[in-house]
Copies of this chain bind each other. A is one copy, B any other.
Amino acid sequence: MMVLGIDGGGTSCRAALATAQSQIIGRAKAGPANIRTDLDGACENIMAAVSQAFANAGQDPARIPDTPIVLGMAGANIAAYATRLLARLPFHQCRIETDVLIALEGAIGAGDGAIGILGTGSHYLARQSGQVRHLGGWGFAVGDQGSGARIGRDLLEETLLAYDGIVPRSPLVGAVLTAHHDDPQEIVEFTKAARPRDFGTFAPMVFDYLDRGDPTAARIVRRAVAAVEASLDALGLANATPRCLLGGLATLIGPRLSARHRERLVPPLQDALGGAVTMAARLFGLERSMSDGIGGLIQP
């Protein structure tokens, strides 16, 4: 038998076809799969990625409906979206999880552990004694503390405060102003149209200047690190529980955490797509071998 894994979100949809031992034998990538805003498009791209993964592995596409699948989908935390997606898919054994849960499965495996995803946004997930707990991920406007977008927004806010003489200037502030022709209004215009990922483009600059001892960068990163630590603390992890940071800021924030978290950091075992495949093999592989031919829907 084979299993399928999907890692789908607003940017793209990746599929992997694997053996029952989670050995990936075919991969593919298709367009966005946003189950909140475009369910039709999401279904199309999921099935396109699946078909291409079968083709990539040289497997007969007639076997697609009988191949067990785990889909890790952004937005699946909202039950209505997951249910609507499930009703549209042709698979006999299908489980829909959040993109975050398959990232956890990929990073730390099936046991206890926690991940913090620090990219444009921030999101945490812990599994302890089989209990899964989400934290954060509320978005840029009123959440995502410690994320790249918030770090970028903080930088622009600090720059305008420094321009007004409310906080001291620094080389980093000078660089931001120079990049905007010394015109704070140009910064303001940018922020009016900017999406979270646009704010996030400033994050690398903050860490560059941090390495040079810039006090503004230090203040911003201190705030981000404190936010990440507060989130990890709130997960209530046992002392020995492994934790793994993922996303573009992982290697920048990780080394700056307090020892109680830093010393428990582990590198990810594999990526989220690998996590979906492994979960599919774990959930459906054993049942399948015990009573071949079980069809229907398994979604506890």
Q: Which residues in B have their C-beta under 8 angstroms from that of A165?
A: 135, 234, 236
Q: How far is the CA of A166 from the CA of B156 in the complex (A)?
A: 26
Please encode chain A, from 130 to 150, with 1 for each CB lying within 8 Å of some chain B CB and 0 for all others. 000001101101110100000
A135 and B153 form a contact (CB under 8 A): no
Q: How far is the CA of A157 from the CA of B231 in the complex (A)?
A: 14
A142 and B187 form a contact (CB under 8 A): yes
Which residue of chain B is the closest to A137 with respect to CB atoms?
B188
Count this chain's copies in the assembly: 2
Q: How far is the CA of A156 from the CA of B139 in the complex (A)?
A: 12
Does A1 make an interface contact (CB < 8 A)?
A: no
When the two chains form the complex, which single residue of B142, B145, B166 contacts A188, counting CB atoms closer than 8 Å?
B142
Q: How far is the CA of A236 from the CA of B166 in the complex (A)?
A: 10
Known A-B contacts: A141-B192, A143-B188, A164-B234. Give 12 more (CB < 8 A). Answer: A78-B185, A138-B187, A139-B188, A139-B191, A139-B192, A141-B188, A142-B156, A142-B188, A142-B191, A165-B236, A166-B230, A166-B231
Chain A interfacial positions (CB closer than 8 Å to B): 77-78, 135-136, 138-139, 141-143, 145, 153, 156-157, 160-161, 164-166, 184-185, 187-188, 191-192, 194, 230-231, 233-234, 236
